[in-house]
Amino acid sequence: MRINFGAAGRLILVTAALLGGCATTPVQPWERGRLARWDMRWDPDPLQAAMREHAHFSKEGSTGEIGAAGGGCGCN
Amino acid sequence: MRTSLPRILSIFVMFAASAGAHAAVETVVGKPAPAFELPVFGSESRHVALESLRGKVVLLDFWASWCGPCRQSFPLYEKLHGELPAQDFTLLAINLDEMADGPAAFLYEHPVSYTSLADPAGDVARKFGLIGMPTSFVIDRDGVVRSRHTGFKPQDIDAVRGEIRELIAAGTEGRQADAN
C-alpha cells in the first residue's frame, strides 16, 4: 500500500484523527452517582478549604491571589 | 493497492461525526408508556409490572440517593400518595442507584409507604428517555404517558396533584357513563 500525502493532507489527516478522539458516550443523568460523591468534590471539606485559602491568601495577598488583594499579616 | 486521501479522510470524518451524533432523546409523552417489570427494592423476589397497574393513574418517579431534589420530593410525594384514593392512583418510584447501600440509607431517612423498584442498570430510565434527575411521569388509566416533570421544586407538587386529580376525575366520569 502506497500513500502519498502532501503537508496539507497530513495536517488534515491528523486533525481528523484527533477529532475522532472527541467521540464519547455521554454520561446519562442516572449515571452521575459517582460524580455526585462527597470525595469527588473540588473541596471535599469546606472548612479545611477555607482555612487553607485563608493561609494562602495571607501569604500571597500582595499578588491578589484568590480574587482579592489583602494584607499579609494573616490576622483578618 | 493505492489508498486515496479522500477515502481515508472520510473514515476519520465518520469517527469525528460520531462525537456529536448522540441519538436524540425521543419523548414518550403522548405515547403508551414503555412496558417494564422490575424487582421491588429491598425485596428482589417481588416484581412489579407497569402493566399490572392499568386502570389506575400512575405517578412514576425516577430517583437516586445522591439526587438532592429527591430529598424534597419524597416527603411531598408521600403526602400525595396518602391523600389520593388508592383504587384510582398509584405512586411508583424507581431507584437508579448502581449500589444498594445509598438508597437503603436514603429510605431510612425518608421513609415512604409507596413502592420503590430497583433499576440499577438504568434500562427503564433509558426507555423513558430521562434527561435529568429526578424525573417523574404521569401515566393515565390507559397506560398513556400524559406528562413529564424533570427536576423537582416543592411548588411543583401542586401542578402534579392537579393533573392527577383531573385524570382521576376524567376516568371516574367515563366509568360512570359506561355503567349507565
A-B Cβ pairs (cutoff 8 Å, strict): 72
- Identify the pLDDT of residue A25: 80
- Identify the pLDDT of residue B59: 97
* Nearest-CB residue to A20 (from B12, B65, B96): B12
End-to-end C-alpha distance for chain B, whole angstroms: 81
> CB contact, 8 Å: B179 with chain A?
no
% of chain B residues with pLDDT over 90 = 75
- Mean pLDDT across the stretch B150-167? 95
> Which position has the grid cell 491578589?
A64
Please check whether residue B56 is in contact with residue B89, taking contact to mean a CB–CB distance below 8 angstroms: yes
Of the candidates A62, A63, A37, A42, the residue with the CA atom closest to the CA atom of residue A52: A42
Q: At A39, is the pLDDT very low, low, confident or very high (cuts 50, 70, 90)?
A: confident
- Identify the pLDDT of residue B21: 46
> CB contact, 8 Å: A68 with chain B?
no
CA distance A13 to chain B (A): 6
- Look at residue B79 and tell me whether its pLDDT is greater than 60: yes
> CB contact, 8 Å: B12 with chain A?
yes
- Among B8, B148, B152, most A C-beta atoms within 10 A, so best to mutate, is B8
For B:135-154, CB contacts with A below 8 A are: 135
- Identify the pLDDT of residue B141: 95
Spatial distance between the Cα atoms of B175 and B111, rounded to a whole number of angstroms: 34
- Look at residue B16 and tell me whether its pLDDT is greater than 60: no
> CB contact, 8 Å: B66 with chain A?
yes
